[in-house]
Chain A
């Protein structure tokens, strides 16, 4: 025990999530060494992340090596839904933690590595608040919102939408039935996230999926075809 001394000030000036960011940087470097694009997929629960991934794996995995890491508080239901083809799927159960963090991804990557995927989808815990702050090592962020969630979703969750590289509108096949106002929704997405591309999809009918696949292809190309992997300074920048 050190002797008691007079109160004094220590200057720290450290980013609180520095440790997470360091691990995220390491993850990104490893994933980039496979010439793979890591896509962090974020949305509220039930917006269709798993359905979009099921369909994406079915359509793309015959010609492109893919892999999935899926985070949920509990159950391996999503992993079982996704593990029907040749793409490796790793389920992370966060127990009571409301987001994935870079350490969880680091521990999952050895299981993914042998497959040498070209795209690694990371399905985050369904939550539009907490996951926004945690870089995982992704190259891009896809934020999903279904037509049943209200056109003002971006206005309600601006912090997350402002980090999106692409906003994927889902369940377009039921847009009319639920009175979805497409123009208002697109205007809200653009107002909050002018940096993001937008694709309108239905995993059930296949509507818009070509645009989703094209977008992914373009990002793989942008990362790897035009020279070495671009170093992204921060996932939340």
Chain B
């Protein structure tokens, strides 16, 4: 087992405290970045829940379903199919790109290592996505 060199150790406890302060900010930044998407998802769910909740005991689910479908026009339905189909198509294209990246990455890595034995990697997963240990 190799011991860390003196220069690589934290020079003083204050350095550790500063890094800790930065880590705290990191957690705050993560919290904000998670709160925006998931907060908006909760808002959409609450919007539906409150509307349906207002009708509790007054109408049945079947009536709600009929109201929803009855409100759909042909052009609206086509727009949903178009939008949903577009999302699905995009997701499949993305999956295909990741598979392609995975198959090509090993090849380019091998070629680069022939030139540079100490080649360093980006640390991404073979398919080019964020590594498991870096996900939060």
A and B, one complex?
no
Interface residues of B, Cβ cutoff 8 Å to A? none
